[in-house]
Chain A
């Protein structure tokens, strides 16, 4: 039971990282990245390929993060000087291309993917390993959370939200909005790469069908429910994914609906939620609030 719980929590940590990355793009900057899952996949595959060829895990993870971020850079440069819509289309196309390449490239395993990826803390005994793994992942998540907060509390983060609320206004204040948006895209994608690297070395294999495009929409819906605050985005995503996963067990309690119909019903729920949330509660349940530095201003006034 305890290892099972640890594994659930660990997956939760990975999804939380994905949520924080996408939230930086959509929640804070208003960027629509329809290919978010592709950066997750890139991180997983690059880290896996590296460790399978003897590169130490830590180095592999760093390189995976860099790759995911670097790939996002030209996509951002290409589209963000134009209207926002173009990023959505290009990332959508990019994700399709990544999916096709992964499916059809022999040296990354094609449809079978890669197996035998070394485990995180592989040398440790099997009975303590899950807990050490969980501890390490949760520490990484905590670190990401702290860094994300530092970023969004900084003047830089304020500019991001200014761009989200009105790019025109931000530009008229002399902010070079394109550069800010590109950095938000790169950082969010790099975070997806990190999540991918951890994911690959936890479950030990990667294949194209683990990176279905619907995962992007699932996380998107989660962060829109939760709102743009870091905790809101992470918790919203976890609760939403947990609720969606729970429907897998509904078949067992005797509802006369097949598993594939459940998959479609989940899609239906995600779709309806996206429409309703856009109309009613675009800022989500816990929107980001910039913390007023009361003490600082009081000192300044004194």
Chain B
């Protein structure tokens, strides 16, 4: 039972990371390798502002989310936008570059040893069969709220409808008068924001190392593909499946093989249903 509860919390974070991934993947048409290190950056900024600059944790987290969103936008403007007419694989390779740059900067500024936020210690709340901590509850509430918001933006707001149009057929979208440049900017803002929130939560749950986000990347890829690229609810559902599968596997096999489970799921999806479970809906 405890493994299942952990799985739900891990799944929520994988889902959030996948949500940030799926937005950019659908519109820009490449899997952003820098996604993992963006999570790391958000976590370390929170750490730097709360432990380093002695801010209370909540304003520190808010500032870190803002800072990371801006950093993602800067990466888009400098690294990805100049490649807008290039083959998509060049964006993929450039995103490896962005990932390495972020990781190097994080390691240079904050070092490579394990660190953690200075959170007040609270006893875990016991709910009979399993227990949860305050951090877990904050994670679940935030994830559900964010997913709702992203879903509303994509399917109800003008900006979101334009985004989906560009994701479907970019040329057609341009012909109908959609400002693709603005749409791309907005996509990276939204993705950066979601990823930043995921990173802050991830840091709270797991603790900080420069490979924090990179280690979650494979699961996030698997969740994105499982839930169909471009589907916000699919990404979250995929995240929960991945989180549960990875945590429940620890009951039977050594936890070191969690990532192998993610790989097996990814391979199975590509083999049997390469466009994901929600394709065509």
Contacts and interface: CB of A to CB of B under 8 A. Distances in A.
Q: Determine the main DSSP class of A at the interface with B.
A: helix
Interface of A: 30, 32, 34, 78-79, 81-82, 84-86, 88-90, 92-94, 96-97, 100-101, 103-104, 217, 220, 224, 260-261, 264-265, 267-268, 270-275, 278-279, 282
A85 B21 CA distance: 13
Which 7 A-B pairs give the minimum distances between C-beta atoms? A271-B100, A274-B97, A271-B101, A268-B104, A275-B97, A93-B263, A267-B104
B218 A278 contact: no
B96 A217 contact: yes
Nearest to B107: A264
B90 interface: yes
B61 interface: no
Interface stretch (B62-70, B78-86, B116-124, B243-251): B78-86
B68 to A, nearest CB: 17
A104 B256 contact: yes
B101 A268 contact: yes
Given A78-B267, A104-B254, A265-B108, A271 B98 contact: yes
Q: Determine the main DSSP class of B at the interface with A.
A: helix
B88 interface: yes
Nearest to A88: B92
Contacts of A267: 100-101, 103-104, 107
Contacts of B263: 93-94, 96-97
Interface in B260-281: 260, 262-263, 266-267, 270-271, 274
A280 to B, nearest CB: 9
Given A88-B31, A274-B94, A279 B100 contact: no
B96 A93 contact: no
A124 B205 CA distance: 57
A275 B104 contact: no
A268 to B, nearest CB: 4
Contacts of B78: 275
A267 B82 CA distance: 22
Contacts of B33: 34, 88, 92
A282 to B, nearest CB: 6
B28 to A, nearest CB: 11
